[in-house]
Structure 1
């Protein structure tokens, strides 16, 4: 799998998956400039490949900008190059010692001469404007993933005459080749209809990616890490997922028509294929939640990366923060940031060690594979879909992580900034970043542009009252006799807290609606937060809820006193 490379200069920005803002040119009404490398992985089935190449020879895309690479994945006998083909066609083999579609595609892309990659299966008959329809989007932005309009026809490639195929493609009469055989549609059609062709479903857009007809830039391929060549099935969905994490926008182009000759494996052996793919895809694609059916498994790709800066905090604070994540979130990983390389193993008085807290932090989680010790973090959490940055000393309440993740999906936003009673001023106690949104923002960020603004314009930004999700690491617990004496006053405190909280919620809501302009209210809001803090200090110590605290506190005391 290729290693990600730095992103190129900023470019035009698409919000979520609203690709209609790109305004790609109409086929036949523009002048292409970029070379398209068509990568065709193939294994046997010579005549099917011949049909594909004959159709590619009749494309409207300029021949001198069409680079066709057929990757023979160990066919016996080896595939031969037919006479009817695009003028720039070459045959290569798979990576040495490798086999499978994913590896073959990667081998083809490695030799591609063009900045645009169009991957076609070797049993696809593309329409005359197929390549052009794909390429037009990539001339507008380099983070597009274009999915062709695929139909299925039950016809044997041996029944098709190659010259007739080429003539039909040139004349735009391909369907006359099929006679009375009807054409079926791919499974993605239902999702496209429900989502206004993915314009309104940015969370699941990547799931329609398939290898039969799909295109992207080589730059996006490299940024997303390339094909996972260990996967024999499901590699297209997995690549699409990682392209989403790299900031891709997914475009189903109805004009990029093509026909699959015969049924695909997903149609002919559907249940067997799903059973095989499930563990491989589940291990790598955390957003397909229905595939992760067994709780408690430490999957290869976590759902969320939690970052805690442990460089200048006490052992107790860092431990409390990290432990609160690990205790209740099997799909989370923790990255503790600190100057770990400065820790030396030489002779030192243990209790006088100037780096004592750092050393204790490193020791306490040294046996937990879910915790990593890093000196810095990457720009995004890829391939994990989320990163939660916790302020030092902030701990998660039970279900807190799940609630803030649910908010991000419910509001379809790229960044959630959380405030809580434990924090002073406007500094968030936690920031949740959606990897796909952050990558898009960084990819399109203008010089000197504030990152919050870039995220807001890429996916949306949301401010939230996180008091129910986050708390301070140190919450003292009083003795039962003291607690009995204070229950009455706590009930009054809770009522005052609710009133203050309502005011804060109104301010947060107004801030979300007005965007960047509302940040001018920060000073007023900070003063309100200090007033709210006074009431919150009593309430938060008891790890209680808002309206039900007093009742739960009384019940707890009765149990402790044996009543």
Structure 2
């Protein structure tokens, strides 16, 4: 096992804004405790709030609306949007600022919330389930955080009501009297959620566990952030928590924003969404512009065969052929033909800014091939160190600046929002999440500027020869006790060296040349070369006969 080394980090809490830097102070990971919002009633709101109440069953909608009718948030900045099923009874006078949107009976919570997100007019969406009771400061307590930072997801302190009043008028009187806590009680509605909050300092030390405390039945989020993370389609509660977290949101519970549940609403941690289609864990990006077919195959096939099976690959190039030569376009068409049937591979004109919704983004230069274990070790180190970026730093590189970086999408999204003019992205990520650097050793990367190293093909394409063996890495396939990591002093293979130098050192050394190949493998390569030549001749003939270039776009 490789020895553990903690990532570069900072003291917990808020990083002070640098001199001349605008915007909110930086929060390290999810430690929100350095933020100090104003007390309710001691500030002037400027953002509009849409409090969305979903009423899809038999909960007491009238009680919830009665509690919302006495909110301290300015009336001209506050609307109440009710998404009610057709079979839910509405109060005779729901209130002048209340909008009601009917949905068919049986509509799920995800669909109702998706509709509400489209209809909400406020800058902030404050979510509530029907049957929940809140004090007069509920909307204001949430909104004060969102005035400080646009990436907050504020979670109400969900409590279980001990006694429930029957008359909505009594609820309004109780709210105005300030006796809600004494009347309704202060017991937590979900023991597991309360235990998580207690164990993590109200999520300040939770890292990825913070997602488990999310409950859509009593929370608030900026409307723009919600729409960007959730999209247009209905999203289950667990998936929404994942998406908001991956988008870089700051999850924080507010004990000054209690919400009492009068039934089952809001009393359980989000359950896994059944039938949910999850994104790849790692979104790899390879810019293949200017690279020949063999180099691309040598890079991408090794990547698809890497130890991380849950991967998606974006190949970046001018697929329309508007700015490349005819020869380069032919190479691109060959690449498309090779991967068109692989659902893991996408052809994109520009690199994505983040890996969203995948938790990780891998930046891999096309001149490097990964050894089988390299990607798995990078993701393992990112998880163990909770690092925002893991940099694999080789001693030399086949092309200038050819370093390998694994970015945590959550950290990258936040750094992109907060980066100063002229600040390097890796430095901004290190400020908000920490950085982990690894010195690459012999065999960790394969230099694909060596033509022999480009002959690698993915496992499904290296069958049929019978005698062909998997590609060897490092000094020999029989040396099973070595790993592609190197100590600074050249010691044991499982040592690591810290590299605190600038990002320009993201360059690499790589071996991985095979010492030899058997006759069967050589015959396979000859057949592949002949097939490629035939495809190339056919493509040239077709290209010369057609007015438009060949396209094999997905």
TM superposition shift of 1:542: 6.5
Match of residue 114, structure 1, among 105, 114, 122: 122
| Contact 1:228/1:239 (<8 A) preserved | no
**Residues 447/108 of structure 1: CA separation in 2 closer, same or farther (3 Å cut):** same
User: Which deviates more, 355-364 or 239-248?
Assistant: 355-364
Matched, 1:101 2:109: yes
- 1:201 counterpart = 2:206: yes
Does 2:301 correspond to 1:280?
A: no
Q: Supply the distance in 1 between the matched residues of 2:492 and 2:502 (Cα, whole angstroms).
A: 16
Find the counterpart in structure 1 of residue 176 from structure 2.
170
Q: Given that residues 32 and 250 in structure 2 are in contact (C-alpha distance below 8 angstroms), is that contact kept between their aligned partners in structure 1? A: yes
Q: How does 1:161-560 map to 2 (within 5 A)?
A: 161-178=167-184, 184-226=189-231, 228-229=233-234, 231=235, 235-264=236-265, 274=271, 277-281=272-276, 283-284=277-278, 301-328=279-306, 329-342=308-321, 353=327, 355-420=329-394, 423=397, 427-467=401-441, 469-473=444-448, 500-501=489-490, 508-509=497-498, 511=500, 518-519=501-502, 541=513
Match of 2:283, SS?
Answer: strand
Alpha-carbon distance in 1 for matches of 2:432, 2:494: 25
Q: Deviations over 1:303-357 (max 9, x none)?
A: 001111222122222112111122243210111112221199xxx9xxx955443
Q: Which runs of 5+ in 1 are unaligned?
A: 1-8, 285-300, 478-482, 512-517, 544-563
Per the normalisation by structure 1, the TM-score is 0.73
Q: Give the Cα–Cα distance (whole angstroms) in 2 for the partners of residues 11 and 98 of structure 1.
A: 43
Q: Which has the higher helix share?
A: 1
Runs of 4+ in structure 1 displaced over 6 angstroms? 503-507
Aligned partner of 1:556 in structure 2 is none
Q: Partner residue of 1:295?
A: none
Q: Distance in 2 between the 1:108 and 1:507 partners?
A: 51
Question: Alpha carbons of 1:196 and 1:542: their partners in 2 closer, same or farther (altered >3 Å)?
Answer: farther
Q: Which residue of 2 aligns with 1:45?
A: 58
> Structure 2: where are the runs of 5+ without partners?
1-21, 456-471, 516-554
Quickly say closer, same or farther: Cα 1:426–1:336, change in 2 above 3 A.
closer
Distance 1:469 1:26 in 2: 54
| Alpha-carbon distance, 1:261 to partner | 0.6
Q: CA deviation at 1:367?
A: 1.4
The one of 61, 76, 79 equivalent to 2:89 is: 79
CA distance in 2, matches of 1:510, 1:429: 13
Compared CA separation, residues 370 and 506, structure 1 to 2 (3 A): closer
CA distance in 2, matches of 1:160, 1:425: 73
Q: Distance in 2 between matches of 1:441 and 1:411?
A: 18
- Looking at structure 1, the residues matched to 34 and 261 of structure 2 have their Cα atoms a distance apart, in angstroms, of 30
2:166 to 149, 160, 163: 160
Contact 2:68 2:134 in 1 (8 A): yes
1:11, distance to aligned residue in structure 2 (A): 4.8
Maintained 8 Å contact 1:154/1:262: no
Task: Tell me by how many angstroms 1:184 deviates.
Answer: 3.9
* Equivalent position to 2:137, from 101, 108, 129: 129
Q: Is the 8 A contact 2:311 2:344 kept in 1?
A: yes
Q: Deviations over 1:48-82 (max 9, x none)?
A: 11111111122232333221111113x22x53244
Q: For residues 278 and 109 of structure 1, do their structure 2 counterparts lie closer, same or farther at Cα, with a shift above 3 Å needed? A: closer
Distance verdict in 2 for CA 1:164–1:70, change over 3 Å? same
1:136 and 1:67, CA in 2 relative to 1: closer, same or farther beyond 3 A?
A: same
Distance 1:34 1:170, change over 3 A: same
Deviation at 1:506, TM superposition (A): 10
Please say if residues 305 and 333 of structure 1, whose CA atoms lie closer than 8 Å, have aligned partners that are also in contact. yes
Q: State the partner residue of 2:34.
A: 21
Q: 1:394 to 1:182 in 2, by over 3 A?
A: closer
* Distance in structure 2 (CA, Å) of the matches to 1:331 and 1:120: 36
Displacement of 1:379 in angstroms is 1.1
- Decide whether aligned partners of structure 1 residues 510 and 335 sit closer, same or farther in structure 2, where only a CA change above 3 A counts: closer
Q: Is the 8 A contact 1:313 1:392 kept in 2?
A: yes
| Contact in 2 for aligned 1:60/1:128 (Cα 8 Å) | yes
Separation (CA, whole Å) in 2 of partners of 1:323 and 1:246:
29
Aligned length in residues:
468
Are 1:150 and 1:260, in contact at CA under 8 Å, matched by a contact in 2? yes
Is 1:68 aligned to residue 76 of structure 2? no
In structure 2, do the counterparts of structure 1 residues 153 and 40 end up closer, same or farther at CA, with 3 Å as the change threshold? same
